[in-house]
Amino acid sequence: MKAGYKNPYCRMISILMTVILVAMLTRVNTYAESSSYSIEVNITENVVTVFENGQPVKAMTCSSGSASPHSGTYRTSAKYRWLTLVGNVYGQYCTRITGHILFHSVPYTSYGNASSLEYWEYDKLGTSASLGCIRLSVEDAKWIYDNCALSTSVTFVTSGSLPLGKPSTYKIADAPEGFREWDPTDPDGNNPWRLGRESSVFQAEYYANRYEELKNAYGYDAKQLMVHWVTHGIPESRQASSEFDLTYYKENNADLRNRYGDDNYSYVYHYIEHGKAEGRRGYQVDPAYYRQCEAFVTRLYMTCLGREPEAEGLENWTNILAYRESSGAAVAKGFVFSREYQLKGVSDDEYVEMLYQVFLDRASDAKGKADWLEVLQIGVSREYIFRGFACSPEYTELCSSYGILRGDIELTQERDQNPALTAYINRMYREVLGRDGEETGLNDWCRAILKKQATPEQAAESILMSREFTDKDLDDEEYVKVLYRAFMGREYDQAGLDAWVNALEEGAEREAVLHQFASSPEFAGIQAAFGI
């Protein structure tokens, strides 16, 4: 053979080996992904069951086909956001199981177009209808695509139990044009079925209870009820939510009637996308309930502000309650922390007395009032005390008597998150600086400790090393006396005082002495008493 001669077969073999090596490496990388999930496909029942660490966690209704495997376990090997399928159709969220068998959505007639669903095939979910792949709703196909790593095991069976049963499916062939071409479960923001996911306009239980024939037909099956509402309920102006009455919305918005005419769907979309934000009311409150809310608000004016309500304020607060835009606790907070009440400059004693009247509907008792005042003294905000009254059983009952939801109040200040910690910080302010901690300081130190950016010991030492304290310019003896009170929780003993003062006079650094006190068993006991 001549030098430099290259056998074409050798070159072919070399290329082939390279391809095989790349494929092997790709396979290794593919199967390197791990998953705690495994999947079982029952092709007789057309149900997919997902297991996590051997326990069933999710069931999906599917469509299998004549070419679907009847047995065997396979491992997923590839994923495709969109994929061309047999028959010039396309699938979303495809996961390859083996060969040409995949999990995928019901087919579409246009690649990448989520509004081209073969709805007549969609209605076959739960039956054998595919050529062999496992068809799923978009929601379920996407769940596998997003959550089950490649190399997830998929086992095919023809019998056996369904540990989570067989979920119901949507039937959408009768839905209006523009709806039926979409999978109702598709999370795409342009999906018109999103109407049925808006609780402000559709509540399945409400819809079933309001229309007896629907409850008899579908029970409380949310999927079937939603399809009925979109397909028939909206055109018939049926009310499917306690918060939205289509007939009322049309009648009370002339500008929308000029724009939409008899297009009921447009009114529903408008309320969801614009109406609520614009402050438009979606339904008519029962007059008797409105009067109850009005009486509730009038009572707040009298007990909190000590006056009769003005017309505009009464109407605004009543509407907020009557249309369930806020709770009894939140509305009461609007009064208690209003500028009008804050300008009264009431004392803590007067503040607590007012809370008794507003929330418990009675005058204070001596012990109860003293307890609340003591809580205020540890450094929490007035809002913390407010929440204690607003979430009381007495106020819950009071709201209920007016037909109003009490609700809750979120405490946002760090000093209100752990009262014991706040009391600890405030004690250091008092013992070291001779005053109560200011709001900013208490919140800053509580935040730092709660977020583990500082320890309780570091907070105590920092307060003692603050400029405010050093500006006191105490001599060594007075300095040590402060350390005793702050870190020992007692007055000094003479021998101990003399020893520490002598150490300082002989050159010991104040910071080193401070650290000794902060590390003492006595100070550890003080912290333990505060639960920190």
For residues 65 and 46, give the distance between their C-alpha atoms in angstroms, rounded to a whole number.
9
Q: Please give the structure tokens belonging to residue 91.
A: 């699938």
> Any idea which residues carry the catalytic annotation?
104, 133
CB atoms inside a 10 Å sphere around CB 508: 15
E strand or H helix at 136, and its extent? strand 134-136
Q: Please give the structure tokens belonging to residue 119.
A: 């709805």
List, in order, residues 6 or more apart from 375 with CB less than 8 Å away: 384, 385, 388, 419
Phi, psi of 297 (to 5 degrees): -65, -40
CA 425, 430, 431, 433 dihedral sign is: positive
Closest-CA residue to 239 (of 267, 212, 211): 211
Q: Please give the structure tokens belonging to residue 22.
A: 């790349």
DSSP 28-95: HHHHH---SEEEEEETTTTEEEEEETTEEEEEEE-B-BTTS-SS-EEE--EEEEEEEETTTEEEEEEE
Q: Please give the structure tokens belonging to residue 237.
A: 């102006």
Note whether 432 and 489 are within 8 A (CB): no
**How far lies 494's CA from each of 49, 491, 498, in Å?**
77, 10, 6
CB-count burial class (<10 Å; 0-12, 13-18, 19+) for 70: exposed
Cα angle value 149/150/155 (rounded, 5°): 95
Q: Please give the structure tokens belonging to residue 209.
A: 């209870």
**How far lies 508's CA from each of 87, 398, 515, in Å?**
89, 64, 12
Note whether 128 and 109 are within 8 A (CB): no
End-to-end CA distance of the chain: 87
For residues 262 and 411, give the distance between their C-alpha atoms in angstroms, rounded to a whole number.
47
For residues 286 and 236, give the distance between their C-alpha atoms in angstroms, rounded to a whole number.
22
User: Which strands, in side-by-side order, build the sheet including 73-75?
Assistant: 55-61, 47-52, 37-42, 153-157, 73-75
